[in-house]
Amino acid sequence: MKKLPVGVNDFSEMIEEGYYFVDKTMLIKDVVDLPGKIKLITRPRRFGKTLNMNMIKRFFSREEKKDLFEGLKIWEEKGFVKEYYHKYPVVFVSFKEVKDVTWKNPISHMKVVLSNLGMNYSDFDVRGYAKEKLKKIIDMTASDEAYADSLRFLTQLFHETIGKKAILLIDEYDVPIEAAYTYEHRDENYYESMVAFMRNMLTAALKDNEHLEFGILTGVYRVAKEFIFSGLNNLAVYTVFDNRMTDRFGFTEEETVEILEHFGVYSPEDKEVVDEWYEGYRVGKYRNLYNPWSVINYIDQRLSGATPQEAAQPFWINTSSNDIVKQQIEKNPSLKEKLQELLEGKEIMSSVDPWLSLRELEERKEGIWTLLVSGGYLTAKQHSFGRYFFETTK
């Protein structure tokens, strides 16, 4: 029996240490084949984004020496593997922990993240200005402007020292922006400062960057109206409203049954409980996706001796802050009535603007529905262009 991967987000650890892996490796081919040199993929929290990004890194990175993909679906794509496997320099950074309550703290936190990233390349054979700039980024003595340029700078170092353009992977890009919006009442300049920093950093790294092969960003929200991606004419966005990459994140029904059977906790009652609690996510027209984090933790509880009813808990709810949703519900009393209808099993219909703007949430009340669907609190079924039926997820 394989080991249960509770909290395992490193693909190498997943494969080498014998954890049960739900094979999502065809995502690797998607990120090359689907349109857009820059791809933004949004999915709810705890839906496997970080593991998938780490998997993508392990596949493409020329620094990776381990053969981790033999026997997986992508390995059957012989021509693709020959062309892309371990062929590119990869810059991978995650901003999932940059969620401080004032602007002073996150810019320092951001510098730590980028300093640690730069440290990975401290042995590069670079000289002159580039060597000094890299040293200052690592030592945390560089200017804010240098840190905003750091991702582009690292792709340049790769390209000039190795001769290959770099792949840039940015995990949880929206966490700092959401934190800035949530805690703006504590620091009135926080939100605008964070948006400006992220815009400068992403524009430098992704727009007209001659050193970039392609880039991928993941997050929960699509906050493009904050002009984070202004001027990126090569950006393709894949959200929960789209019909591509539908089953690349989250567990399908078949995958959920297979993992329950593998760990010996599959029964009609288990299936009924898991369906009731954790099924119901929809991506585009694809129905019946399950939250991986919740399914895995349910299995963990069952293996500890809990009955199916005892094992069922709202694991997903406790994995991150819900402050932004709480704020919007408190500011909009009529929303409570509609949410109560949803909790009673009723459907409601509203318009949705997938181009979520956190700043516009105060003026455009329908924006809360985009927030709730993107965050995984609700699932949306399209009725007509721009209008959706909403249901609660499990």
Domain boundary among 263, 297, 318: 318
- pLDDT over 80 (residue 353): no
Half-sphere CA count of 167, side-chain side, radius 13 A: 25
Q: 245 in a domain, yes or no?
A: no
**Structure-token match 């320099």, residue found:** 89
CA dihedral 316, 170, 164, 75 (to 10 degrees): 10
Q: What is the pLDDT of residue 227?
A: 66
- pLDDT over 60 (residue 46): yes
Q: Are residues 102 and 187 in the same domain?
A: yes
Structural domains in the chain (count): 3
- pLDDT over 70 (residue 391): no
Lowest model confidence (mean pLDDT) among 179-188, 317-326, 332-341: 317-326
Q: Which two tokens stand for residue 132?
A: 């000094």
Q: 353 in a domain, yes or no?
A: yes
Burial of 317 (0-12, 13-18, 19+ CB in 10 A): exposed
- pLDDT over 70 (residue 384): no
- pLDDT over 60 (residue 383): no
Q: Are residues 297 and 222 in the same domain?
A: no
Domain boundary among 269, 300, 318: 318
Angle CA 72–8–238, to nearest 5:
65
Concatenated DSSP letters of 215-260: EEEEES---GGGTTTTT-TTEEEE-TTSSSSTTSSSB-HHHHHHHH
The beta-strand segments (E) located in the chain are 38-42, 90-94, 166-171, 212-219, 235-238, 279-283, 286-290, 348-351, 378-384, 387-392
Is-contact 70 147, C-beta < 8 A? no
Is-contact 226 177, C-beta < 8 A? yes
Pairing of strands 387-392, 378-384: antiparallel
At 6, the pLDDT band (50, 70, 90 cuts) reads: very high
pLDDT tens digits, one per residue of 248-266: 999 999 999 999 999 999 9
- 378 lies in which domain range? 324-392
pLDDT tens digits, one per residue of 10-32: 999 999 999 999 999 999 999 99
- Phi–psi pair at 350, nearest 5 degrees: -155, 165
> Which of 144, 263, 280, 256 lies closest to 200, judged by CA?
144
- Mean pLDDT of all residues belonging to the chain: 88
pLDDT tens digits, one per residue of 84-130: 999 999 999 999 999 888 888 888 899 999 999 999 877 777 777 88
- pLDDT over 70 (residue 319): no
- pLDDT over 90 (residue 377): no
What is the rounded average pLDDT of the residues 269-285?
A: 92
Q: Which two tokens stand for residue 96?
A: 């999932």
- pLDDT over 70 (residue 321): no
- pLDDT over 60 (residue 386): no
- Residue 58 identity (one-letter amino acid): R
At 213, the pLDDT band (50, 70, 90 cuts) reads: very high
- Phi–psi pair at 3, nearest 5 degrees: -85, 150
- pLDDT over 80 (residue 218): yes
Q: How far apart are CA 63 and CA 79, in angstroms?
A: 21
- Residues contacting 142, CB < 8 A, separation 6+: 111, 133, 136, 150
Q: Are residues 187 and 268 in the same domain?
A: no
Lowest model confidence (mean pLDDT) among 174-178, 205-209, 273-277, 324-328: 324-328
Q: Are residues 309 and 339 in the same domain?
A: no
Q: What is the pLDDT of residue 318?
A: 63
Q: How far apart are CA 151 and CA 280, in angstroms?
A: 37
Q: What is the pLDDT of residue 235?
A: 87
> Which of 167, 178, 40, 176 lies closest to 110, judged by CA?
176
Q: Are residues 150 and 36 in the same domain?
A: yes
Q: Are residues 48 and 15 in the same domain?
A: yes
Q: Are residues 231 and 308 in the same domain?
A: no
Q: Are residues 334 and 382 in the same domain?
A: yes
| Highest-confidence segment of 164-173, 214-223, 329-338 | 164-173
Q: What is the pLDDT of residue 382?
A: 67
Q: How far apart are CA 56 and CA 241, in angstroms?
A: 23
Q: Are residues 336 and 379 in the same domain?
A: yes
Q: 247 in a domain, yes or no?
A: no
